[in-house]
């Protein structure tokens, strides 16, 4: 009997409750993004200790039949993923749907590119369904034909018909929204009823980048102050100690990153919370920016900008359904 036959035989003789248990554990590990080895190295031993102490050794012995090796957990997560995909695709068949698309890169050093595709439709029970259907790596150029090939291959593999696609939504990138050679044009060539819409969140984000002269100066002052404190580890430690001594609720500032859509609002709010501590620190460092943080007009404008971006962040979160 070969190794696969032995594993299959063990699986058949595993109790149904044990099989359900390791599927649930695999699902939890996938949701919390933990390594697969943690199930066998930590979860199972901890469960054995807990059950043997609280219930008895005989009950703990029943847990040992639950297979929780790294390879087993990996296979169970893949099976769960495939089952979720099959359920979603089955609901899509025969129903008109829209496809929000986006092309994104990872923050790692290799900067891998991915095509992210979601779906929105009304199922047979009149429930609105919004879900991710795939996130595929872009191995070649990020051109319209390569992006359409990824999308079309998914449709063919899952027996989906383009005639049910009635809407396509993406940002203003040329590869996605080009009227003559973009993904938009290629999709509309096979999905006659598909309409094109520009992502509302992208338009709102672009609009929020245009500030008046006075408010833009406020943002520049904030960025200079944060960079002066955070750019040097020694000064960052001194500032943290100052905040602790003054009893501030927060002790660290946040960097402003233009690539992260919640960054600007959070960075501004943190600066406003620590405005007194920043003034004291800059004054001790003999920085000219210290006088700015005691100016009532500047602080009023800073509070106003914080309120603006707090509302924008709240709107973005609501639009994304987070």
pLDDT in tens, 229-240: 888 888 888 888
Which residue, 83, 112, 144, sits at the end of a domain?
83
pLDDT for residue 253 is more than 50: yes
Residue 247 backbone phi and psi in degrees, to 5: 75, 30
Q: Which of 24, 58, 83 is the last residue of a domain?
A: 83
- Is residue 45 scored above 60 in pLDDT? yes
- Is 88 contained in some domain? no
Angle between helices 200-208 and 296-320 (to 10 degrees): 170
Q: Are residues 48 and 68 in the same domain?
A: yes
202 contacts: CB under 8 Å, gap ≥ 6? 171, 172
Per the structure, the complete domain to which residue 248 belongs is given by 208-320
Total domains present in the chain: 3
183 with 120, same domain? Answer: yes
Claim to verify: residue 43 and residue 125 sit in the same structural domain: no
| Tens digit of each residue's pLDDT (9 = 90 or more) over 81-139 | 888 888 888 888 888 888 888 877 766 555 678 888 888 888 888 888 888 888 888 87
CA-based torsion, 306, 312, 316, 319: positive or negative? positive
């Amino acid at each position: 009997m070969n190794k696969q036959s032995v594993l299959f035989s063990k699986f058949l003789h595993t109790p149904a409750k044990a099989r359900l248990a390791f599927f649930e554990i695999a699902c939890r590990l996938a949701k919390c993004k933990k390594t697969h080895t943690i199930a066998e190295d930590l979860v199972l031993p901890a469960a054995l200790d807990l059950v043997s102490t609280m219930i008895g050794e005989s009950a703990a012995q029943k847990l040992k039949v639950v297979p929780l090796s790294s390879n087993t957990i990996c296979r169970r997560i893949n099976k769960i993923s495939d089952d979720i995909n099959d359920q979603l695709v089955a609901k899509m068949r025969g129903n008109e749907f829209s496809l929000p698309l986006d092309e994104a890169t990872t923050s790692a050093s290799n900067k891998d590119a991915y095509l992210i595709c979601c779906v929105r439709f009304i199922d047979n029970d009149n429930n609105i369904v919004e879900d991710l259907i795939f996130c595929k790596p872009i191995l070649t150029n990020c051109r319209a034909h390569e992006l359409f090939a990824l999308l079309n291959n998914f449709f063919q593999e899952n027996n989906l018909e383009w005639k049910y696609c009635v809407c396509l939504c993406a940002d203003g990138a040329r590869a996605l929204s080009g009227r003559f050679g973009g993904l938009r044009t290629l999709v509309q060539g096979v999905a006659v009823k598909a309409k094109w819409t520009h992502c509302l969140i992208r338009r709102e984000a672009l609009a929020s980048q245009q500030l008046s002269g006075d408010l833009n100066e406020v943002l520049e002052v904030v960025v200079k102050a944060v960079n002066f404190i955070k750019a040097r580890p020694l000064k960052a430690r001194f500032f943290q100690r100052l905040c602790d001594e003054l009893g501030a609720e927060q002790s660290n500032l946040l960097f402003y990153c233009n690539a992260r859509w919640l960054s600007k609002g959070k960075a501004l709010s943190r600066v406003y919370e620590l405005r007194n501590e920043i003034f004291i620190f800059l004054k001790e460092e003999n920085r000219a920016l210290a006088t700015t943080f005691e100016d009532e007009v500047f602080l009023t404008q800073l509070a106003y900008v914080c309120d603006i971006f707090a509302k924008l962040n709240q709107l973005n979160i609501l639009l994304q359904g987070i």
